[in-house]
């Protein structure tokens, strides 16, 4: 089943159009990767799906319903969750409070204790630092917290913008493994990633975005073999 569908999406900022008709779909319980060079429109696409940027044209469908005009907080309440670029933590609040805020959607709030246990198990480091202010964490810990805060919402779809940006290879590997575990629990994940090789290695399906359009798409294991992708991203 397609849980999230984007059809012919055009969007941008004021006079500057970034997306020129993007169409993509996420299969439920799949891990889909979205790759593309800097400035290709990946972040704008996520922001438009979420409703932080209003689409100029096109439709965003979530669980079959048109949600194009819905504000971000309503989408989050329904289980469409974005872990944004730059983490956007509540830096003046504690780690535990950040996670509690992650559990704002009503469906997640009743399972707060259980989910807290789950993310502390995924990220034991966060448990150690739970009463520390989020702003005092290291970059890697902050990224863990950003993902953990997203997981606290019991997302139906979890979209992650630049998971590995600025992280050590070891930590990147840990986070990728965590995503695989989350997928196994039935979560649908859209991963935006600069590390194309790793993104293709763990995802089921992938889209390549270039200059605001989907340039290429297909099952990830086919894209890895694709000469065009290899030349552009994996050389």
Decide: is 82 part of the binding site for another protein (CB under 8 A). Answer: yes
Phi/psi for 46 (5° steps) reads -65, -45
Decide: is 149 part of the binding site for another protein (CB under 8 A). Answer: yes
In angstroms, give the least distance from the CB of 86 to another protein.
10
Decide: is 136 part of the binding site for another protein (CB under 8 A). Answer: no
Decide: is 15 part of the binding site for another protein (CB under 8 A). Answer: no
Decide: is 4 part of the binding site for another protein (CB under 8 A). Answer: no
For 82, the enclosing helix (H) or strand (E) is strand 80-83
List the interface residues with another protein, window 177-206 (CB under 8 A): none
For residue 219, the cross-strand partners are 205
Decide: is 131 part of the binding site for another protein (CB under 8 A). Answer: no
Kindly tell me which of 47 and 125 has the beta carbon lying closer to another protein.
Answer: 47
CA pair distance 93, 121, nearest whole angstrom: 21
Q: Which of 223, 225, 230 is nearest to 205 (CA)?
A: 223
Q: State the CB neighbour count (10 A cutoff) for residue 226.
A: 17
Choices 8-16, 24-32, 82-90, 209-217; region in contact with another protein by CB under 8 A:
82-90
Q: 186-197: buried (b, 16+ CB within 10 Å) or exposed (e) per residue?
A: ebbbbbbbbbbe
Per CB under 8 A, residues contacting another protein are 50, 52, 71-73, 76-77, 81-82, 84, 88-93, 97, 100-102, 104-105, 149, 153
């Amino acid at each position: 089943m397609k849980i999230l569908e984007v059809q012919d999406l055009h969007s941008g900022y004021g006079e500057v159009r970034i997306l020129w008709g993007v169409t993509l779909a996420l299969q439920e319980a799949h891990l889909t990767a979205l790759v593309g060079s800097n400035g290709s429109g990946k972040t704008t696409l996520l922001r438009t799906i979420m409703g932080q940027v209003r689409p100029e044209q096109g439709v965003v469908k979530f669980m079959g319903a048109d949600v194009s005009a819905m504000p971000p907080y309503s989408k989050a309440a329904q289980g469409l969750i974005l872990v944004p670029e730059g983490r956007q933590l509540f830096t003046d609040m504690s780690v535990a409070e950040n996670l509690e805020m992650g559990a704002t959607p009503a469906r997640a709030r009743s399972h707060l204790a259980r989910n807290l246990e789950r993310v502390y198990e995924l990220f034991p480091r966060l448990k150690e630092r739970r009463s520390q202010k989020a702003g005092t964490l290291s970059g890697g810990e902050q990224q863990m917290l950003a993902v953990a805060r997203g997981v606290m919402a019991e997302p139906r779809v979890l979209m992650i913008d630049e998971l590995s940006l600025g992280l050590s290879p070891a930590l990147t590997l840990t986070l990728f493994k965590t995503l695989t575990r989350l997928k196994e629990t039935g979560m649908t994940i859209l991963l935006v990633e600069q590390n194309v090789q790793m993104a293709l290695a763990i995802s089921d399906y992938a889209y390549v975005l270039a200059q605001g359009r989907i340039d290429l798409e297909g099952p990830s294991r086919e894209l890895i073999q694709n000469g065009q992708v290899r030349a552009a991203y994996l050389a």
